[in-house]
Structure 1
Amino acid sequence: MLPGTLRELSGPKRALDVVLYSSGLVAAAATALTGATFLFWHAPIPARLGALIFAATLFLYNLDSVLPYKYRQQAVLSARKRWVLRHRRGLLALALGSLAVAVVLFVVDGWWHLRLFWGHLAAISLLYSLPVVRRRGHWRALRDLPLLKMFLIAYVWSAVTVWVPALRLGKALDEPAVLVLFARRFFFILNLALIFDIRDFTKDQLSGTRTFPGLFGLRATKVLGLIFLAVSAVLVPPGVSAAHGWVLLLPTLLAGVILWFADETRPEYYFALLADGLMLVQFAVAYWVA
């Protein structure tokens, strides 16, 4: 390949790294999943709410990525972590700027009366990353407690992307459609969390974090993920036609393929682009059938 061609490719690759490793795609995915829930109820996602979720996700994920204790506990740094190390100041500035935007939108958009609901999600998200639990002489974050990591992720993501739209539209959280949609989303996110546990297999082993791949092996983890997807697939909310139900299976099938071929030796893009990109597929399918 010619040197000029290499230079041309380096520009798009750098741009892609910025989007993926600064959590831009993750923030877009959270917004897209929320939008998919609004579309299920035949309503557009309010612009300020979408911006709030995008900014809050940027803050939490970039804060998590720049915490210093995480680098002290890793003997091996991935390409993604090396990129983050080189750009920690910029990511910290992005996190703080995103927090400021999220706070302003939270107040302006009139969510203050639900501050306890939002507060418990924020508390779980922060304690997920911050070392606040002392275990065996070491301070640990909630994510380091055995097998808790993926359930925390699934709960927060499902609460934000299902309960927040329901509350905005004046729906009770115990309505059958809300309950089923929450459970469907919960099991779908559990599968995605297992994919990222597979990615972090060696890192979690070195840091002492007990996850399903570390305790039960990769094959058992993949089988468990397929079970989660099967449960998600059969949880069809009331009012969905059979034809739409089949269309909605597309993200589930893609998630199963990505899980089955997941391996920690795969490039970072496999996880950062394909796995997170599944949530954009969820939105695209919801838009199609709406």
Structure 2
Amino acid sequence: MPPGPLREYSDPKSSAARFPFVALLKRGTDAVLYSSLLVSAAATGLTWATFLFWHAPIPGRLGVLIFAATLFLYNIDSVLPYKYRQQAVLSERKLWLLRHRRELFALAVLSLAVAGVLFWTDGWRHLTLFLGHLAAISLLYSMPVVRIHGRWRALRDLPLLKIFLIAYVWSAITVWVPALYLGKALGDPVVLVLYARRFFFILNLALVFDIRDYTKDRLSGTRTFPGLFGLRATKWLGLAFLTVSALLIPPGVSTHHLLVLTVPTLLAGVIIWYADETRPDYYFALLADGLMLVQFVVAWWVV
């Protein structure tokens, strides 16, 4: 077991014996959240929301490709051996991941196979370099690639870089991929505004998870915004990112459409303002990741 402070949890067995349905529901919820099924659905939902903006249906096989690729990247990241040698706070989520490493690895392999088949058969090979660089950033995000002061560091460990890597990849997948599929130039003003709007929105959510990982990142030597500037300053920065996102209005958006689209922005502001590493894992895994699905629901409702 990795060294470092442990969080105290009540014994789930006693409550499971008294409330078997609740225990079953919790096991199912844990599996959905901690195996990255929800975050993969969120990536698909945000991509779908971009298609809805252009009044176009998302191709089903593209949706499955994005879901499977996200599921692979997040689960392969969860089972990397070096991450379990780091000093870390063992939250309920981390303990669940430790207990299910084999299942997560099998899920990652299966997801990679599905994504690979769809990529190869659906005519995406001409975008190998474009999609490949996004995959490379995602894989190297948590893998030791740079030796600094005698220690191997991943891209996420470089000072203040992690949130920008996350925002870049998520915005590229959920905005640029739909644009390319629909034959739109990435330099088109509408595409640029949509990308920037999504980029700053994701930056705020990335800061929420930096707040969650505050102690873990301190123990591992990763310099993040909360670690360098404090929690309060980080929250204000997140609100600033959301403000920029809200002010980036794509051409042709009606006033009604714009007002409805502010709902996810306002919710994101509430989530980061009340974020704290002592909050339950569900606060982050359910609320923060689920907020991206709210964006899809709102876009669906408007259209």
> Per the shorter chain, which TM-score range?
over 0.9
Which residue of 36, 40, 62 corresponds with 1:23? 36
- The runs of 4+ residues in structure 1 deviating greater than 6 Å are 1-4
Report the 3-state secondary structure (helix = DSSP H, G, I; strand = E; otherwise coil) of the residue aligned with 1:239. Answer: coil
SS at match of 2:57: coil
Aligned residue among 124, 136, 139 for 1:123: 136
Counterpart code for 1:257: V
Q: Quick check: 2:88–2:215 contact (8 Å CA) kept in 1? A: no
The TM-score with structure 2 as length reference comes to 0.94
Letter in 2 for 1:253: L
SS of the equivalent of 1:129 reads coil
Q: What is the alpha-carbon distance in structure 2 between the residues aligned to residue 269 and residue 196 of structure 1?
A: 12
Name the structure 2 match of 1:218.
231
Is 2:251 aligned against 1:248?
A: no
Distance 1:4 1:83, change over 3 A: closer
Residue 100 (structure 1) shift = 0.6
Of 149, 152, 174, which aligns to 1:139?
152
| Percent identity of equivalent pairs | 77
The corresponding residue for 2:277 is 264
Aligned-partner Cα distance in 2 for 1:6–1:237? 50
The one-letter amino acid of 2:137's match is: I
> 2:173 aligned with 1:148, yes or no?
no
Q: Name the counterpart of 1:84.
A: 97
Question: Structure 1 residues 43, 129: CA separation in 2 closer, same or farther (over 3 Å shift)?
Answer: same
Return the match for 1:231 from 241, 244, 249. Answer: 244
Residue number in structure 2 paired with 1:276? 289
Structure 1 equivalent of residue 192 of structure 2: 179
Verify the 8 A CA contact 2:61 2:118 in the aligned structure 1: yes
Residue in structure 2 matched with residue 102 of structure 1 by the alignment: 115
SS at match of 2:205: helix
Deviates more, 1:215-224 or 1:75-84: 75-84
Matched, 1:197 2:215: no
Q: AA paired with 2:273?
A: W
Could you say what the CA RMSD is over the residues aligned between the two structures, in angstroms?
A: 1.1
Q: Cα offset for 1:3?
A: 7.0
CA distance in 2, matches of 1:285, 1:231: 19
TM-score by length of 1: 0.98
1:112 maps to amino acid: R
Q: CA deviation at 1:154?
A: 0.1
Q: Give the Cα–Cα distance (whole angstroms) in 1 for the partners of residues 290 and 50 of structure 2.
A: 17
